[in-house]
Amino acid sequence: MTDFYSAPQHRFPVPSLRVAASDGIDDAQNTIILAYRSESSAALLEQAIAGARRENAAVRVVHFESDTTTAPSAGALSQTKELADRLAEADLEFEVQRADSDVASQIIDLAEEWQAKLIVMPSKRRSPVVKLLLGSSTQRVILEAECPVLIVK
Q: In whole angstroms, what is the distance from residue 153 CA to residue 69 CA? A: 21
State how far the alpha carbon of 65 is from the alpha carbons of 27, 58, 74, 79, 124, in Å: 29, 23, 12, 11, 12
pTM score: 0.81
pLDDT surpassing 80 at residue 42: yes
Instruction: Please state which architecture CATH assigns to domain 18-152.
Output: 3-Layer(aba) Sandwich (3.40)
In this predicted model, what pLDDT tens digit does every residue of 121-142 receive, in sequence order? 998 777 676 665 555 888 899 9
Tell me which of 12-16, 49-53, 102-106, 142-146 is least confident.
12-16
Share of the chain above pLDDT 70, in %: 76
Q: Cβ–Cβ contacts within 10 Å for residue 14, how many?
A: 6
pLDDT 10s digits, 45-60: 999 999 999 999 999 9
Provide the 3-class DSSP secondary structure of residue 98. Answer: strand
